[in-house]
Amino acid sequence: MNITVLGEARHASPLSCFVSDKARVLFNAIVDPDAPPTEELLLEVAGPREKLFFDPKKTRAGIVTCGGLCPGLNNVIRSLVLQLHHVYGLREILGFVNGYQGLDPWRGEEPIPLTPAFVENIHKEGGSVLNTSRGPVDVSVAVDNLIRRKIDMLFVVGGDGTQRGGAALFQEAKSRGHALAVVGIPKTIDNDVPFVSRTFGYLSAVEEATKVITCAHTEAHSVHNGIVVVKIMGRNAGFIAAGATIASQDVNFTLVPEAAFVLDGENGFLAALKKRVVERAHAVILVAEGAGQHLMDTHEKQFDASGNLKSKDIGIFLRDHIDAYFKQEGIPFTLRYIDPSYIVRSVPAGAEDAILCDFFARNAVHAAMAGKTGLVIGLQHDVFTHVPIELLASRKKQLDLSSPAWQGVLAAAGQDFAHFPA
């Protein structure tokens, strides 16, 4: 998977250790003679290059954060600025405000000049000092603005939708012969970006979710037949719910978008819940927001500004159906509902994510300085990689229900009722 380069890299790098441009990492590292043959995908290894396309003294960079919040956004912004300024010597770095809107001079605010002093302590806070928004931008207007402001490289921090936007900006600049390095840094608490084994913010979200589950378990355990439903983010993939189930060990039912389930009947969720409550007198249900959509009216569809299908509220749906079912069954119970959705993604990054953010950011700068464009920094087998944006946009990343990892989630929850691939 070769990466587009803007031209010959002639400038000497100020660094002393380099990664060869020929180095590759195998996407699929498992060799199993009994398994069907897998595609031999080789990805470029990220890291500093000996020769640079851009002369740091004459180069100007831009940063933009898009989509939902995620722990670590400020860490990424800070490490980008410090790497550009201190390691490569750039003196002009602009932060575009309010996501892609900020690239449109008619809709956006004036960008913020970013300096080491400005970013000094931002990593200690959640959110993004550049704010964020959802929704596309007129790429022609945006590229006009980037050219007018003499921006040579743009770091795009966002999920798969945002990276698709980055691809459009890179294509537009290319069609105009403007040497713009567009480098993406994958961001989502959902951890559902392909070619990225772990997105920053995911583990911090799992950490926060685990605290909520501990409280939910205390609530459920402190009353007779206590039932607590916790709804957690995860629109198309249930990685947060799966991770929090294993991390907390206090969840009894984990419901994810990848596994459709039956509500009623002897093999259904409600019957399994009843059995649990009768036997153990308490239950904690962790449901990802994208789960159970098949149980609700799927005709009326709503989309957010980025074109993402909005999930129907499975948390409220489950709460109401559990309430009706236990009343109908004549079993005394106490039901609570907790929705910490936006809380888990607006916290500062934990230590592991802070480290990950720094690596993603510094590798993004290395790629841009070398004149690489139209890529996202990936992570495979703990090796940072260069992934062409088109490739990233061509796949989905979801839980593999046939994997030992998912079996581990079911075992941790002690979950045993009919569910099948959605």
Tallying the residues shown for the chain, one arrives at: 422
Binder among 85, 235, 366, 419 for ligand F6P (CB under 6 A): 235
- Cα–Cα distance, 179 to 181 (Å, whole number): 7
Regarding 161 and contact with ligand F6P (CB under 6 A), the answer is: no
* Residue of the chain from 56, 127, 159, 226 that contacts ligand F6P (CB under 6 A): 159
Cβ closer to ligand F6P: 62 or 67?
67
- Which CB, 83 or 311, lies closer to ligand F6P? 311
Binding test (CB under 6 A) with ligand F6P, winner from 172, 250, 289, 358: 289
User: x/- site string to ligand F6P, residues 323 to 362, per CB under 6 A?
Assistant: ----------------------x-----------------
Q: What is the torsion angle, in degrees rounded to the nearest 10, for the CA atoms of residue 97, residue 101, residue 106 and residue 111?
A: 20
| Rounded Cα distance, 116 and 333, in Å | 56
Q: Among residues 146, 189, 284, 399, which is the contact residue for ligand F6P, using CB under 6 A?
A: 189
Q: Is 190 in the site for ligand F6P (CB under 6 A)?
A: yes
User: Structure tokens of 155?
Assistant: 């770091």
How far apart (Å, rounded) are the C-alpha atoms in residues 202 and 191? 6
Q: Phi and psi for 26 in degrees, rounded to 5?
A: -75, 125
- The minimum distance between CB 50 and ligand F6P, in angstroms, equals 37
Q: What is the dihedral of CA 117, 120, 122, 123, to 10 degrees?
A: 150
CA distance 412 to 313: 25
Looking at 142-150, 186-194, 380-388, 414-422, which segment touches ligand F6P (CB under 6 A)?
186-194
What is the rounded CA–CA span in Å between residue 116 and residue 112? 13
Q: Which CB, 70 or 181, lies closer to ligand F6P?
A: 70
Which residue, 59 or 74, has its beta carbon nearer to ligand F6P?
74
Residue 418 CB, shortest distance to ligand F6P, in Å, is 26
Name the residue nearer to ligand F6P (CB basis): 67 or 111. 67
Quote the Cα angle for 230-231-235, to 5°: 155
Of the listed pieces 220-228, 229-237, 361-369, 390-398, which binds ligand F6P according to CB under 6 A? 229-237
Q: Does 99 bind ligand F6P (CB under 6 A)?
A: no
Stated as kind and residue range, the H or E segment containing 62 is strand 60-65
CA distance 75 to 224: 44
Residue of minimal Cβ distance to ligand F6P: 68
Task: Point out which span in 72-80, 84-92, 140-148, 183-191 binds ligand F6P (CB under 6 A).
Answer: 183-191
For residue 16 the two structure tokens come to 């002393």
CB nearer ligand F6P, residue 152 or residue 160: 160
Of 39-47, 230-238, 351-359, 382-390, the window that binds ligand F6P (rule: CB under 6 A) is: 230-238
Q: Which of residues 68, 127, 165, 292 is near ligand F6P by CB under 6 A? A: 68
Interaction residues for ligand F6P, span 109-148 (CB under 6 A): 134
Tokens of 114: 């970013």
The terminus-to-terminus CA distance of the chain in angstroms comes to: 31
Which of 104, 125, 304, 313 is close enough to bind ligand F6P by CB under 6 A? 304
Q: What's the number of CA atoms in the CB half-sphere (13 Å) around residue 222?
A: 7
Site size with ligand F6P, rule: CB under 6 A: 13
Q: Are 201 and 383 in contact (CB under 8 A)?
A: no
Minimum CB separation from ligand F6P for residue 394, in Å?
Answer: 20
Classified as helix, coil or strand, 336 is strand
171 SS3 class:
helix
Cα distances (angstroms) measured from residue 392 to each of 139, 314, 357: 20, 29, 19
Q: Catalytic residues, which ones?
A: 190
Pick the closer one to ligand F6P by CB: 238 or 374: 238
Shortest CB 319 distance to ligand F6P, Å: 19
Distances from the Cα of 168 to the Cα of 140, 162, 280, 388, 390, angstroms:
10, 10, 54, 13, 10
User: Which residues bind to ligand F6P, rule: CB under 6 A?
Assistant: 67-68, 134, 159, 188-190, 233-235, 289, 304, 345
